[in-house]
Amino acid sequence: MIRVLIVDDQALVRGAFEVLVNSAPEMTVVGAAADGAEAIELAQRERPDVVLMDVRMPKLDGIEATRRIIAAGRERAESGGGSDSHSDAEVCGARVLILTTFDLDEYVFAALRAGASGFLLKDTAPAQLLDAITVVAAGEALLAPTVTRRLIEQFSRSPQPSRAPRVSLDGVTDREHEVLALVGRGLSNAEIAEHLHLASPTVKTHVSRLLMKLGARDRAQLVIVAYESGLLDQQPFPHAPS
Protein backbone atom coordinates (compact mmCIF):
# COMPACT_ATOMS: atom_id res chain seq x y z
CA MET A 1 0.00 0.00 0.00
CA ILE A 2 1.43 3.40 -1.02
CA ARG A 3 1.00 5.94 1.78
CA VAL A 4 0.38 9.45 0.47
CA LEU A 5 0.53 12.85 2.17
CA ILE A 6 -1.29 15.71 0.39
CA VAL A 7 -0.03 19.28 0.83
CA ASP A 8 -1.95 22.24 -0.62
CA ASP A 9 -3.22 25.50 0.85
CA GLN A 10 -6.61 25.15 -0.89
CA ALA A 11 -9.11 22.95 0.92
CA LEU A 12 -10.98 22.05 -2.26
CA VAL A 13 -7.78 20.92 -3.96
CA ARG A 14 -6.75 18.83 -0.95
CA GLY A 15 -10.20 17.23 -0.90
CA ALA A 16 -10.15 16.46 -4.61
CA PHE A 17 -6.70 14.87 -4.42
CA GLU A 18 -7.72 12.85 -1.37
CA VAL A 19 -10.75 11.41 -3.17
CA LEU A 20 -8.65 10.61 -6.23
CA VAL A 21 -5.82 8.93 -4.33
CA ASN A 22 -8.15 6.93 -2.09
CA SER A 23 -9.98 5.69 -5.20
CA ALA A 24 -6.87 3.70 -6.14
CA PRO A 25 -6.90 0.33 -4.34
CA GLU A 26 -3.12 0.32 -3.88
CA MET A 27 -2.97 3.80 -2.30
CA THR A 28 -4.17 5.50 0.87
CA VAL A 29 -4.04 9.09 2.11
CA VAL A 30 -2.38 9.28 5.53
CA GLY A 31 -2.70 13.02 6.01
CA ALA A 32 -3.40 16.43 4.47
CA ALA A 33 -1.58 19.68 5.23
CA ALA A 34 -2.43 23.29 4.39
CA ASP A 35 1.14 24.64 4.49
CA GLY A 36 4.76 23.54 4.47
CA ALA A 37 5.22 23.65 8.23
CA GLU A 38 2.27 21.34 8.79
CA ALA A 39 3.55 19.08 6.02
CA ILE A 40 6.87 18.60 7.83
CA GLU A 41 5.10 17.66 11.07
CA LEU A 42 2.81 15.19 9.32
CA ALA A 43 5.66 13.69 7.33
CA GLN A 44 7.62 13.05 10.51
CA ARG A 45 4.63 11.48 12.25
CA GLU A 46 3.00 9.52 9.40
CA ARG A 47 6.09 8.51 7.40
CA PRO A 48 4.38 8.65 3.97
CA ASP A 49 5.91 7.02 0.91
CA VAL A 50 4.98 9.94 -1.36
CA VAL A 51 4.20 13.59 -0.63
CA LEU A 52 2.09 15.52 -3.17
CA MET A 53 3.52 18.99 -2.59
CA ASP A 54 2.17 22.36 -3.68
CA VAL A 55 4.72 25.16 -4.24
CA ARG A 56 3.15 28.45 -3.21
CA MET A 57 1.78 28.22 0.33
CA PRO A 58 1.68 30.44 3.46
CA LYS A 59 4.08 30.09 6.41
CA LEU A 60 6.49 27.80 4.54
CA ASP A 61 6.56 27.17 0.79
CA GLY A 62 6.70 23.77 -0.84
CA ILE A 63 10.33 24.05 -1.92
CA GLU A 64 11.64 24.62 1.60
CA ALA A 65 9.25 22.01 3.02
CA THR A 66 10.59 19.52 0.47
CA ARG A 67 14.17 20.31 1.44
CA ARG A 68 13.47 19.71 5.13
CA ILE A 69 11.46 16.53 4.58
CA ILE A 70 14.21 15.05 2.38
CA ALA A 71 16.89 16.08 4.88
CA ALA A 72 14.97 14.43 7.73
CA GLY A 73 14.65 11.21 5.72
CA ARG A 74 18.37 11.26 4.95
CA GLU A 75 19.19 11.69 8.63
CA ARG A 76 16.98 8.73 9.55
CA ALA A 77 18.68 6.60 6.90
CA GLU A 78 22.16 7.55 8.10
CA SER A 79 21.22 6.77 11.70
CA GLY A 80 19.94 3.31 10.76
CA GLY A 81 16.26 4.16 10.46
CA GLY A 82 15.33 3.78 14.09
CA SER A 83 12.85 1.00 14.87
CA ASP A 84 13.20 -2.30 13.04
CA SER A 85 9.47 -2.10 12.37
CA HIS A 86 9.98 0.63 9.80
CA SER A 87 9.68 -0.31 6.15
CA ASP A 88 12.46 0.40 3.64
CA ALA A 89 10.43 3.33 2.30
CA GLU A 90 10.17 4.84 5.77
CA VAL A 91 13.89 4.50 6.40
CA CYS A 92 14.75 6.09 3.06
CA GLY A 93 12.27 8.90 3.65
CA ALA A 94 9.31 10.17 1.71
CA ARG A 95 9.65 10.95 -1.97
CA VAL A 96 8.21 14.30 -3.00
CA LEU A 97 6.12 14.88 -6.11
CA ILE A 98 5.74 18.61 -6.78
CA LEU A 99 2.34 19.70 -8.15
CA THR A 100 1.82 23.28 -9.22
CA THR A 101 -0.20 25.48 -11.55
CA PHE A 102 2.89 27.53 -12.28
CA ASP A 103 4.84 26.28 -15.29
CA LEU A 104 7.96 28.22 -14.31
CA ASP A 105 11.54 27.01 -14.80
CA GLU A 106 12.73 28.48 -11.51
CA TYR A 107 10.36 26.22 -9.59
CA VAL A 108 11.43 23.11 -11.48
CA PHE A 109 15.11 23.53 -10.74
CA ALA A 110 14.50 24.68 -7.16
CA ALA A 111 12.36 21.60 -6.56
CA LEU A 112 15.04 19.28 -7.96
CA ARG A 113 17.73 20.96 -5.88
CA ALA A 114 15.52 20.52 -2.82
CA GLY A 115 15.39 16.76 -3.47
CA ALA A 116 12.04 16.32 -5.20
CA SER A 117 11.64 13.16 -7.26
CA GLY A 118 8.98 14.50 -9.60
CA PHE A 119 7.36 17.61 -11.00
CA LEU A 120 3.91 17.77 -12.60
CA LEU A 121 1.42 20.50 -13.38
CA LYS A 122 -1.96 20.42 -11.66
CA ASP A 123 -3.77 20.07 -14.98
CA THR A 124 -2.28 16.57 -15.33
CA ALA A 125 -4.98 13.96 -16.02
CA PRO A 126 -6.09 12.01 -12.90
CA ALA A 127 -4.88 8.68 -14.29
CA GLN A 128 -1.46 10.19 -15.05
CA LEU A 129 -1.22 11.56 -11.53
CA LEU A 130 -1.91 8.15 -10.03
CA ASP A 131 0.68 6.63 -12.35
CA ALA A 132 3.14 9.31 -11.25
CA ILE A 133 2.62 8.45 -7.59
CA THR A 134 3.32 4.79 -8.36
CA VAL A 135 6.47 5.64 -10.32
CA VAL A 136 7.85 7.94 -7.63
CA ALA A 137 6.99 5.51 -4.82
CA ALA A 138 9.01 2.84 -6.67
CA GLY A 139 12.09 5.05 -6.46
CA GLU A 140 12.03 6.44 -9.99
CA ALA A 141 11.95 10.09 -10.97
CA LEU A 142 9.16 11.64 -12.96
CA LEU A 143 9.46 14.97 -14.69
CA ALA A 144 6.94 16.45 -17.10
CA PRO A 145 8.88 16.04 -20.39
CA THR A 146 8.00 19.40 -21.94
CA VAL A 147 8.91 21.24 -18.75
CA THR A 148 12.17 19.33 -18.29
CA ARG A 149 13.41 19.79 -21.83
CA ARG A 150 12.60 23.50 -21.89
CA LEU A 151 14.37 23.87 -18.56
CA ILE A 152 17.51 22.12 -19.76
CA GLU A 153 17.52 24.13 -22.99
CA GLN A 154 17.45 27.30 -20.90
CA PHE A 155 20.42 26.09 -18.84
CA SER A 156 22.32 25.28 -22.02
CA ARG A 157 21.67 28.76 -23.46
CA SER A 158 22.73 30.47 -20.23
CA PRO A 159 26.03 28.93 -19.12
CA GLN A 160 27.46 30.05 -15.79
CA PRO A 161 31.28 30.19 -16.03
CA SER A 162 31.63 30.57 -12.27
CA ARG A 163 29.73 27.37 -11.61
CA ALA A 164 32.01 24.73 -10.07
CA PRO A 165 31.19 21.03 -10.34
CA ARG A 166 29.82 19.79 -7.05
CA VAL A 167 30.20 16.13 -7.90
CA SER A 168 33.30 14.48 -9.31
CA LEU A 169 32.76 12.32 -12.37
CA ASP A 170 35.94 10.37 -11.72
CA GLY A 171 35.27 6.68 -12.26
CA VAL A 172 32.44 7.32 -14.70
CA THR A 173 33.10 5.62 -18.05
CA ASP A 174 32.81 7.35 -21.42
CA ARG A 175 29.56 5.53 -22.15
CA GLU A 176 28.19 6.50 -18.75
CA HIS A 177 29.09 10.12 -19.49
CA GLU A 178 26.97 9.88 -22.64
CA VAL A 179 24.05 8.32 -20.78
CA LEU A 180 24.28 10.88 -17.97
CA ALA A 181 24.23 13.78 -20.41
CA LEU A 182 21.11 12.40 -22.09
CA VAL A 183 19.39 11.75 -18.75
CA GLY A 184 20.18 15.34 -17.85
CA ARG A 185 18.55 16.54 -21.04
CA GLY A 186 15.28 14.81 -20.22
CA LEU A 187 15.43 11.71 -22.41
CA SER A 188 13.78 8.50 -21.21
CA ASN A 189 15.64 5.18 -21.16
CA ALA A 190 13.93 4.15 -24.39
CA GLU A 191 14.95 7.41 -26.10
CA ILE A 192 18.53 7.06 -24.84
CA ALA A 193 18.64 3.48 -26.13
CA GLU A 194 17.57 4.60 -29.59
CA HIS A 195 19.87 7.62 -29.56
CA LEU A 196 22.93 5.55 -28.61
CA HIS A 197 21.85 2.39 -30.47
CA LEU A 198 21.76 0.33 -27.28
CA ALA A 199 19.29 -2.14 -25.81
CA SER A 200 16.93 -0.69 -23.19
CA PRO A 201 18.17 -3.10 -20.45
CA THR A 202 21.71 -1.91 -21.16
CA VAL A 203 20.68 1.71 -20.65
CA LYS A 204 18.91 0.77 -17.43
CA THR A 205 22.11 -0.86 -16.21
CA HIS A 206 24.14 2.24 -17.04
CA VAL A 207 21.65 4.44 -15.16
CA SER A 208 21.78 2.14 -12.13
CA ARG A 209 25.56 2.28 -12.11
CA LEU A 210 25.48 6.07 -12.37
CA LEU A 211 23.14 6.28 -9.38
CA MET A 212 25.54 4.13 -7.36
CA LYS A 213 28.76 5.83 -8.47
CA LEU A 214 27.44 9.36 -8.01
CA GLY A 215 25.50 8.69 -4.82
CA ALA A 216 22.36 10.05 -6.46
CA ARG A 217 18.99 9.36 -4.88
CA ASP A 218 17.15 8.93 -8.17
CA ARG A 219 16.97 10.04 -11.79
CA ALA A 220 15.97 13.57 -10.84
CA GLN A 221 19.21 13.95 -8.93
CA LEU A 222 21.15 12.75 -11.97
CA VAL A 223 19.69 15.75 -13.83
CA ILE A 224 21.25 18.01 -11.20
CA VAL A 225 24.60 16.20 -11.42
CA ALA A 226 24.60 16.45 -15.22
CA TYR A 227 23.90 20.18 -15.06
CA GLU A 228 26.33 21.06 -12.27
CA SER A 229 29.16 18.96 -13.69
CA GLY A 230 29.02 20.92 -16.95
CA LEU A 231 27.97 18.00 -19.16
CA LEU A 232 25.02 19.94 -20.53
CA ASP A 233 27.32 22.68 -21.83
CA GLN A 234 29.42 20.30 -23.90
CA GLN A 235 27.06 19.25 -26.68
CA PRO A 236 23.89 20.48 -28.42
CA PHE A 237 20.51 19.51 -27.04
CA PRO A 238 19.47 16.23 -28.72
CA HIS A 239 15.96 15.81 -30.05
CA ALA A 240 14.13 12.66 -29.04
CA PRO A 241 14.08 10.11 -31.87
CA SER A 242 10.83 10.14 -33.80
Confidence at residue 83, expressed as pLDDT on a 0 to 100 scale: 44
84, 44, 36: which is closest to 63 by C-alpha?
Answer: 36
- Contact of 33 with 7, CB cutoff 8 Å: yes
Which are the contacts of 172, defined by CB distance < 8 A and separation ≥ 6? Answer: 180, 210, 213, 214
What is the pLDDT, as a whole number, of residue 89?
37
Q: What is the mean pLDDT of each run of 10 residues along the chain (242 residues)?
A: 96 96 97 96 94 92 92 75 41 78 69 82 89 86 61 55 59 93 82 92 93 83 80 57 43
The whole-model pTM stands at 0.71
Query: Percentages helix, strand, coil for the chain, rounded to the nearest 5?
Result: 50, 10, 35
> What's the one-letter identity of residue 131?
D
Q: What is the pLDDT of residue 96?
A: 93
CA dihedral 74, 52, 56, 16 (to 10 degrees): -160
Q: What pLDDT score does 113 carry? A: 78
- The residue type found at 35 is D
184/231 Cα distance (integer angstroms) = 8
Q: In order of start, what are the domains of the chain with their CATH numbers?
A: 2-143 (3.40.50.2300), 161-233 (1.10.10.10)
Query: How many other CB atoms sit within 10 Å of the CB of residue 28?
Result: 15
Pairing between strand 142-143 and 50-53? unpaired
Taking the C-alpha atoms of residue 224 and residue 60, their distance in angstroms, rounded to an integer, is 24
Closest CA to 129 of 57, 44, 50: 50
Q: What pLDDT, on the 0 to 100 scale, is given for residue 146?
A: 57
At residue 134, the 3 state secondary structure works out as helix
Residue 72, pLDDT score = 86
